[in-house]
Structure 1
Amino acid sequence: MAVLHRTLRLTPLNPLHKPSKPTSKGLSLSLSHQHRRRTYATTKQAPPPSPPKHRQVTTFNDDGHIRWSALSLREKSARTTQQSFNFLVIIAGVLLTGAVAQLLYKEVFSPDSKTSHFNRTVTRMKNDERCVDVLAGGDANKIKAYGEPSWNRWSKNRAIAGKTTKDKAGVSHFRMHFHVEGPKGKGVVQLHMVEREGRWEYVLLALDVPGHQRIYLEDAEQGKIDQRKDGKMFGVKWW
């Protein structure tokens, strides 16, 4: 029986050969690769962060701090409703402000307003010596003019009774009366004006003081009567 022998060949070791050591560069690359693998594994396994929660936005509590993209469909509808309502409120405020400004100009600052007619008439009366003598004894600064009297003796500045009307011919008539008072007496001023060709003309301006004869500052009817007595009609003297 033959016996097989395996001959092992041993390579003799070189006493001068030293095993190689890993370089620092290779070690760094290896560590970096391992770190990336660990980071990737951690990132892959971690669940995505959930978006921050906010209180539910409604039509009444929305302050606009939450972004539009973060709102739900219902919350977007609530914000749209609120903004539409705010826009309508702003438009209504602008229209109301314009209406008030127009009314204020028409009633106070316009040359044809009731206040302007009142101020001009008071100035006209204070410049008349007859009115000043009857009411204040010659001192126009002591004359007071006011609207309708009131039971409250501390407040005499009431609404002035005046209105503008149109006759059948389309002519505008302005009538107004107010009260005047001085150290010597009290009275009522009567005013009637007519608008012709864009200008207001006096028809009647008179002061009535109890116990005294009416004082006329303007009287168009009396002027017409005087012209008839002088033989004038339509500006032409007929006799």
Structure 2
Amino acid sequence: MSPLIKLFLRNNGANVLRSYFLTPSQFRNFSRTISALELTKKPQKPAKQENALQRSILEEVFVKEKQKPTTFSGKVAEKASNTFMYTAVAVGVGLIGAFVYVLAGEFFAQDSPQTIFNKALALVREDGRCQDIFGASIAGFGEETSRGRRRHVAHHKYEKDGMQRIRVLFHVKGDRDEGIAQAEMEQRDGDWQWRFLYVENKHRPKTTHKKTENGTHIRVAGTIEEIDKSMSSATSSIQKSGLSTWLREKIDNLMTKKIQKIYLIGNGHFDGSREPGAHQLALFLEISSIFDAQLIFQDPVCSPAELKWLQTKNVEIRQKIDTEIDLSTGIPTILVMIHGEHELFDGILKFNQKIDNLIVIGNNYGGVDWELSKLREEMPRINEFFEKSIITFFPEIYEPHGSAFSSTVIMSPLVE
């Protein structure tokens, strides 16, 4: 044993022995102290609980696993629930796919009304003549409801001679004027091609305009010489097309008595070969000559030169600008109102409660444009007249002037 250890034992041995041998009183106090320390000591948490506290709230929500059922009924219920959820997801994906398909067909397919409308409106905006009439900025939109809300573009799909066709009708509006445009496309060899695009402004005079120094536009009226040239060209076109011969045959089939009067209402200007009124007037000058009938002309917008030219052709000019045209006399009569105002035709029908021996040549009041028009409900007399008439459609295409006879029909009321 080393001297250091001997020295330690000699000096501290008694004290060490005394620390290991306690009196009963000291032992009781020591036991109480140990018990108190154990009670105040914080208990340790289980390992699983400590790990759970370390996980975030999102982990608790998303990572938490649902306890699997152990009974047969529970397993069946779980499978039914899963099947329902999978079916709901599949149906949702299917509906989204169908919606995308319909949306793509509506806006991107070649034969969709919206695609044809967009193409037609682009052509109208690029056309210099349309810019002169409507203004530099031209907007296009569908029919308006009675509350002023604009609906989708009116359209009509049909088949003729084995060809699929689609026609759209929409409004155009610019800074100077507004009007209606009709466009039609036909499917040929798998491709959709234009058949026609008609644009007509609402306010007369139509077409030929001149821009003045202050920026306004005024119409330039034709001279007698220009009217002669215009009407000669239009008459030649009518004769070459065979339209007057076709119309004579239709009139003979509809009217057993000889036509005596022809009222030409709202014909418009005819002092230029591009005016639709020139071709319309030329046709009914031919018809009046064929039947040796009196031609009566009424239009407030005609120029003095146009009125003078009519007098040289023995055309009677009706000076009154009203709808009080007596058609109830029983005299075989043709009332011509091609592209006429609906209000004017409605007024004439209201003035004549009974109509006999009458043929009306005018707008197609069974077409999609009238069906969607807000005026249809306001003018039941027109609907009644159209529904009780034999309807004969004009030829769809008149090559010399595409819009002169567009959407025109022959209406012959059935005898009750």
**Aligned counterpart, 2:153:** 160
**Aligned counterpart, 1:143:** 138
**Aligned counterpart, 2:103:** 104
Identity fraction in percent: 24
CA distance in 2, matches of 1:178, 1:79: 56
CA distance in 2, matches of 1:221, 1:181: 26
Deviations 1:146-185 (A, max 9, x none): 11113444x54x2111132223x43101111000111211
Does residue 180 of structure 1 match 2:172?
Answer: yes
Q: In 2 relative to 1, CA 224–197 (structure 1 residues): closer, same or farther, beyond 3 Å?
A: farther
Does residue 81 of structure 1 match 2:80?
Answer: yes
Count of residues in Structure 1 that have an aligned counterpart in Structure 2: 152
Does residue 221 of structure 1 match 2:397?
Answer: yes
Deviations 1:82-118 (A, max 9, x none): 1111111122112212211111111112233222111
- Residue identity opposite 1:162 in structure 2: H
Structure 1 stretches of 5 or more lacking a match?
1-63, 227-239
Asked if the contact 1:179/1:186 (under 8 Å) is kept, the reply is: yes
Question: Which has the larger helix fraction?
Answer: 2
CA distance in 1, matches of 2:188, 2:102: 24
Normalised to the residue count of structure 2, the TM-score between the two structures is 0.34
Asked if the contact 1:135/1:183 (under 8 Å) is kept, the reply is: yes
- Residue identity opposite 2:180 in structure 1: V
Instruction: Tell me by how many angstroms 1:213 deviates.
Output: 4.2
Q: In 2 relative to 1, CA 105–212 (structure 1 residues): closer, same or farther, beyond 3 Å?
A: farther
The 3-state SS of whatever aligns with 2:397 is helix
**Aligned counterpart, 1:66:** 66
Instruction: Tell me by how many angstroms 1:191 deviates.
Output: 1.1
Which of these two proteins has the greater Rg computed from alpha carbons? Answer: 1
Asked if the contact 1:175/1:193 (under 8 Å) is kept, the reply is: yes
The 3-state SS of whatever aligns with 1:83 is helix
**Aligned counterpart, 2:195:** 203
CA distance in 1, matches of 2:87, 2:118: 40
CA distance in 1, matches of 2:191, 2:179: 28
CA distance in 2, matches of 1:177, 1:120: 13
Instruction: Tell me by how many angstroms 1:190 deviates.
Output: 0.8
- Aligned-pair Cα RMSD in Å: 2.7
Normalised to the residue count of structure 1, the TM-score between the two structures is 0.56
Deviations 1:14-69 (A, max 9, x none): xxxxxxxxxxxxxxxxxxxxxxxxxxxxxxxxxxxxxxxxxxxxxxxxxx94333x
CA distance in 2, matches of 1:161, 1:212: 27
